[in-house]
Structure 1
Amino acid sequence: MRILVMGGTEFVGSSLVKYLLNQNYTVDIFTRGIRPLKYSGVSNHYKGDRRIIRDLQKNIMDVKYDYVFDISAYKLIDVQNLLEVLNIKNLKKYIFCSSGSVYKPSTNFITEDFSKGYNEYWGDYGLDKLQIENYLFDLFKNNKLPIVIFRPTYIYGEENNLYRESYIFDRLKYNKDIPIPNSTSKVQFIHINDLVKIFENAMYNKNVIGQAYNITYPDTIKWDELMSTAMKITNRYVNIKKIDSLLNIKSRQYFPFRDCTYLLDINKSICHRLYKPKISLIEGLTRSYKWYCEIQPKLKDDKMNKIEEVLQL
């Protein structure tokens, strides 16, 4: 069995590769080669720009894979180039990591057949993922390409390179108050360890070809609950200031998440016998905090440039 992972140096890609290697799979990866690997054991580390088709041709032309995990596709050309070069003769599944951002906004739980299209909170990111999905579904319908699509909610956990839970831990560490939106938004999270197990499970699940699945831990979380959970596990307590909607300051200018309800129904994945996430928020944040204390990551989010300003309001 031979596996190709598109990606492998950032959060989701590297976590998936390390998990697969620990399960004794034979894994090749394709990355831009900009960041060094923080692990060893891959059979081949191909380097290039997937948007330059000759970079793909010189690396994976004529290589046959049983499974492909596409973690690094954000534009349609990413997938078009890859599938033009990829030898799919032995391909059992092409597993694409999409996003719940492909759905139109809703304050209710969203099933996989819910309306898709422009979402003001996610913008072009969601539209680009949806364009890739539509392309893959067409290939499944017309060419029998064995695709599987996953739409996760917020992914968190050890090695997260986005300044999300580390931002909260930083504020707590330095005893700084935390501004949050004064809203009724509810969201869900999926821990990285659950996500990679779902990816692996899809390799062996006969129900999943040609399907898309919502992926998340089912608990719903409000912003103040997220903060209280973080304070509980760190045993550090600061003031949480709720910020009313302001015309001149958007929530992403002081908060690491989009202030909107983001709830996905996972009954389809359960019905199709995919691995069910087991890591609760308190357990997942505990793991994240342990990693944070050991690694002391230095992260930032340039969008959050109004934190101190809103705290003075």
Structure 2
Amino acid sequence: MDSALVIGGTRFIGRHLVDDLLDHEYDVTIFNRGTHDDPFADDDRVDHVEGDRTNDTALEAAATTVDPDAVFDCVAYYPKDVRAATRIFGECESYVSVSSGAAYGREEIPKRETETPLEPCTAEQATDDSAETYGNRKAECDRAVFAAAEDGVRAMAVRPPIVYGPHDYTERLDWWIDRVNRFDRVVVPGDGTNVWHRVYVDDVASALRIVAEQGVAGEAYNVGDRRLVTLEEMVELIAESLATTVDVVHAGPRELAAGEIELDDYPLYREYPHVLSTAKLAALGWESTPLEEAMERAVDDHLESDRDGNENGPDREAEERVLGILETL
């Protein structure tokens, strides 16, 4: 394959995917509405087609104009999006949709692609735009991928958990980096052993390309850091990248109540472990970036940005009340 169309492509996963494709000598075209700054605007290696992916006529025009070998769908949030794209790009060599670990409908460790059931999705959920139905919609998007494959389309899905790294506009990890960078005492909810699988964004990008090149039609592939860390270990990795040390202070529901904080007010906290098996993707030759290297890049990008993630978690004043209570125990 020589040419690629990236639906999305300028914000986070898509941005890193474009870089990865360029590094592997693809001719790349971005298809989006042009509502966000384009980091590739001055890069003559990247073409840009403006259009709304929810507009089938615009997608059909892009298919005719670009005639890509591979299509990467970074912004398929509704089942109808996948159904339209797999129909329009059905003659391409590959179509890869960015799915999510949230598509899984049962809590088990680890979640495996062909064993763990997916979330159900009603007709109402399929068109809903709330966060509560995100997993349902992603699961139905995957079922649309599988259906397209049964009709002869080389369609596949890649399921990441929480994605982190440079240019992460969600600022979930930024909240933690900011805490470690500014304070010598960091509150970690619970006992610090919470595990929520994460994945470095460059590894998602390479996974998408590898699946397009080597994946099997009708299959989904989990992608995630090959070595998982607890929330406390993540804080320690951040501190190492900042060349600093922090005093981790554990706080349970009782202690957090002093600041009117709940456990799940903290970004990247999840009561039940969320772990994805990545063996299927690794069998294609995919490798993940060492955690220390990935975190260092994420921290460097944070320091160069104006992101602080403050809207994602408890404010420091509330945490100080918790710390005050803990000092008296």
With structure 2 as the length reference, what TM-score do the two structures score? 0.82
Higher helix share: 2
Instruction: Kindly state the Cα deviation for residue 225 of structure 1 after the two structures are TM-superposed.
Output: 0.9
Give a deviation string over 1:168-225, Cα, whole Å, max 9, x none.
Answer: 22122222643322054223332222222222222331x5222111112222211111
Q: 1:251 to 1:31 in 2, by over 3 A?
A: farther
Give a deviation string over 1:14-48, Cα, whole Å, max 9, x none.
Answer: 01102212322111111120112112235431222
Counterpart amino acid of 2:80? I
Counterpart amino acid of 2:105? K
Name the residue aligned to 2:58: 55
1:228 corresponds to 2:236: yes
1:218-297 mapped onto 2 (5 Å cutoff): 218-245=226-253, 249-271=261-283, 273-277=284-288, 279-293=289-303, 295-297=304-306
Counterpart amino acid of 1:211? E
Instruction: Kindly state the Cα deviation for residue 63 of structure 1 after the two structures are TM-superposed.
Output: 4.3
Counting matched residue pairs gives: 304
CA contact (8 A) 2:120 2:139 kept: no
1:154-233 mapped onto 2 (5 Å cutoff): 154-175=162-183, 177-183=185-191, 184-205=193-214, 207-233=215-241
Counterpart amino acid of 1:287? R
Identity within the alignment, %: 22
1:135 corresponds to 2:144: yes
Instruction: Kindly state the Cα deviation for residue 303 of structure 1 after the two structures are TM-superposed.
Output: 4.3
Distance (Å, rounded) in 1 between the aligned partners of 2:7 and 2:310: 25
User: Mind listing any 5+ residue stretches in structure 2 that lack a counterpart?
Assistant: 122-130, 323-329
1:78 corresponds to 2:88: no
Q: 1:229 to 1:118 in 2, by over 3 A?
A: farther
Q: Give the secondary-structure state (helix, strand or coil) at the position aligned to 1:123.
A: helix
CA contact (8 A) 2:103 2:135 kept: yes
Distance (Å, rounded) in 1 between the aligned partners of 2:152 and 2:63: 21
Name the residue aligned to 2:18: 17
Distance (Å, rounded) in 2 between the aligned partners of 1:49 and 1:182: 43
Q: 1:53 to 1:251 in 2, by over 3 A?
A: farther
Distance (Å, rounded) in 1 between the aligned partners of 2:83 and 2:145: 9
CA contact (8 A) 2:187 2:248 kept: yes
With structure 1 as the length reference, what TM-score do the two structures score? 0.86
CA contact (8 A) 1:189 1:281 kept: no
CA contact (8 A) 2:171 2:307 kept: no
Distance (Å, rounded) in 2 between the aligned partners of 1:280 and 1:164: 20
State which drifts further: 174-183 or 217-226. 174-183
